Amino acid sequence: MNLNKLPAWLPPAVAGVIILFPAGYSAGRFAWARAFSFSKPYLELPDASSGSCVRDPSWMRQNHRILLRELRDKTVREGIRGKITLGTCSHCHKDKTRFCDKCHLAVNLYPDCFDCHFYSTAGPMAARLEGKP
């Protein structure tokens, strides 16, 4: 390719379009959401009656995966089944698709835990895991 034949304005123009596109896209999306009031809740938050989370919510936001991994190791490898299980989560966060998946899908995160494990929604499974009748 002979670069000397390339008009000098072309690369800056292409770069300008690429650099400005995300800002334009975000502004457009914002205007669109404003105009058609698409403001559905992003995360389905548990109602106030469910009580507090097992850890500080802002810590959970970043580190729930650490907690889940610790629980897994304790349960599966050391055989210590504590009070907190996945079932405990599902008491308040009833629908995985409207809570967990929201962020995971948004950042291309596909945890494979639930390919095998069932995220029960406060049903008999969860109760049994917690030792209740």
Partner 1 sequence: MMQMTATPIPVPIRPDGEFRARLIASGGEDLKKCFQCATCSVVCNLSEDGTPFPRKEMIWAQWGLQDRLFADADIWLCHQCRDCTSRCPRGARPGDVMAAIRREAILHYSAPRWMGRLAIRPGFVVLLLVLSSLVLGLLACLHGPLPDLFRTSRPDRIVISYWSQLPQWLLILFFTPVLLLDTSVMVLGVKRLWHNLKASDPEVSRGIRAVLRNIVLHENFDRCVAERPRMYSHMLVLFGFLGLFVVDLWVLTARFNPLLSNVLAYPFNFWSPWKILANLAGAAILIGCTLMVRDRMAGTGRAGVWFDWMFLGLVAIAVLTGFACEVLHYARIDPLRYAAYVVHLATVFVLLVLLPYSKFAHMVYRATALVYVAHKKGSPQGVVRESE
For the chain, the straight-line distance linking the first and the last C-alpha, in angstroms and rounded, comes to: 76
**23 lies in the site for partner 1, by CB under 8 A:** yes
For residue 33, give the H/E element and its range.
Answer: helix 10-36
Written as six digits, the tokens of 49 are 């009656």
**8 lies in the site for partner 1, by CB under 8 A:** yes
Nearest alpha-carbon partner for 130 in 79, 91, 96, 92:
91
Q: Which is nearer to partner 1, 14 or 80 (CB)?
A: 14
Written as six digits, the tokens of 10 are 């072309």
Which of the stretches 20-28, 72-80, 92-100, 123-131 binds partner 1 when contact is defined by CB under 8 A?
20-28
Within positions 60 to 99, which residues make up the interface with partner 1, using CB under 8 A? 61-63
Within positions 28 to 67, which residues make up the interface with partner 1, using CB under 8 A? 29-30, 33, 42-43, 58-59, 61-63
Q: Is 2 exposed, middle or buried (0-12, 13-18, 19+ CB in 10 A)?
A: exposed
Per CB under 8 A, residues contacting partner 1 are 3-4, 8-9, 11-12, 15-16, 18-19, 21-23, 25-27, 29-30, 33, 42-43, 58-59, 61-63, 102-103, 106-108
